[in-house]
Structure 1
Amino acid sequence: MAVTMRQRGFTLVELIVTIAVLALILFAVMPSIGTWLENTRIRNVADSLQNGLQVARGEAVRRNQNVSLWLVSLNDPAVLSDDCSLSGASGAWIVSVNSPIGHCSDAPSTTSSPMIVTGRPAGDSGGRVTVAAVQAIDGSTEGTTVTFNGFGRIANSDAIGQIDVTGSSTGTRALRIVVSPSGSVRMCEPAIVDSTAKDPRKC
């Protein structure tokens, strides 16, 4: 008695239909994926800047001396190099006692100027978001540095008051870092409108 074996697998028609359905699903979710990726870049840059400010303040209190965070532009956003210059439109930063212009690749030191504590390049994500730092004194002039004194308070008159980090696409979530005269640093969302002021994300 002959036994017949059934072959298992996909027919060509089933395979084509499956690919078509997957393509439609991918096409439908692509805008959401793009927005999510850009929001992630914004968050990464904002987190980095907030961390740098907190490091500068903490180091100033620990050393009991003025320590600054400097926003620097780099030819290669992924590498801290000596071609750096000050820029309020950059997500790269250096924490040091003196200005790091031309010395951004120096090793950390407590004796050799500019006495760098640490630094971080903007990286690939930094080139895909917009950073705008302004001075607290008027809210419009470009700001490039914040200096904290030994009490953790702002010590320079031209200090950065806020840094906005935004994306290039509609629907992305912009973030803002606010530095108060007392030296406290917080992140908020400019788009949050809460008349009762109970939303902690509100600027």
Structure 2
Amino acid sequence: MDRNTQKGFTLIELIITVVILGILVALAAPSMFEILERRKLKGAAESFQVDLMFAKTEAIKRNTPVRIQFKFDTVDPSQWCYGIKVNAACDCLTANSCEVDGVEKVVNRSDYGNNVLITGNAVGFAGGIVSFTPLRGQTIAGNATFSLADGAEIKVSTNIRGRTTICSNSGLGMEGC
């Protein structure tokens, strides 16, 4: 055996390996960003669906109407929020206006990153209000569409019986609309 045989990597082999890894990471970064944005979109839509079910349940439990009310900033309509309140209107742009049992129930665009959009035109509820009645949680049918700038959309709908559904034609692992 030759005692002068070296084991391990040369400096050139190490540099080439690091360069190749750097290229692979640079190629993966944009798709990772897209995956994260789509997860935020899905999270916002699913959160709204859960809030619809919460409002319906509270209306039946309390035997009084419960509202979810959307608001859009007049200066920047892409800035949206919605709040939940028992038996009254609320303004999610005003602190402590939307409360249930003393707990503020407000969702803002910033909760899901500024790329998740919902505009006034995408809210198909009369006046941006979803009101569940105590009578079996009924409401007026409507929908809200959450979207990203790249065109990915998720639609959350409710029928007159208060049943909520969620769908997407954007390949987000959901039932198609």
Structure 1 or 2: more helix by fraction: 2
Matched, 1:121 2:112: no
Deviation at 1:160, TM superposition (A): 6.8
2:166 is aligned with 1:202: no
Distance of 1:10 and 1:99 partners within structure 2:
69
Contact 2:60 2:137 in 1 (8 A): yes
- Structure 1 partner of 2:124: 135
Please list, as runs of the form range in 1=range in 2, the aligned pairs for 1:157-172 lying within 5 A after superposition: 161-169=142-150
Q: Tell me the secondary structure at the aligned position of residue 131 of structure 1.
A: coil
Q: In structure 1, what residue type is equivalent to 2:176?
A: K
AA in 1 matched with 2:57: G
Change (3 A) 1:109 1:51: closer
Letter in 2 for 1:134: V
2:38 maps to amino acid: N
| CA deviation after TM superposition for structure 1 residue 191, in Å | 4.4
Pair 99,7 (structure 1): closer, same or farther in 2 beyond 3 Å: farther
Q: Deviations over 1:95-148 (max 9, x none)?
A: 1031222644358456xxxx87733333352421111333357xxxxx421000
- How many residues are treated as equivalent by the alignment? 168
Q: Please list every run of 5 or more consecutive structure 2 residues that lacks an aligned counterpart in the other structure.
A: none
Q: Does 1:105 align with 2:104?
A: no
TM-score normalised per structure 2: 0.76
Q: Which amino acid aligns with 2:138?
A: R
Instruction: Report % sequence identity.
Output: 23
Maintained 8 Å contact 1:106/1:116: no
After TM superposition, the structure 1 = structure 2 runs for residues 146-185 of structure 1, keeping only pairs within 5 Å, are 146-150=130-134, 151-154=136-139, 161-169=142-150, 173-185=152-164
CA contact (8 A) 2:157 2:166 kept: yes
Per-residue deviation, 1:91: 5.2
For 2:106 and 2:49, locate their aligned partners in 1 and report how far apart those are by CA, in whole Å: 13
Structural RMSD (CA):
3.3
Question: Secondary structure of the equivalent of 1:34?
Answer: helix
AA of the residue aligned to 1:63: R
The amino acid that maps onto 1:92 is C
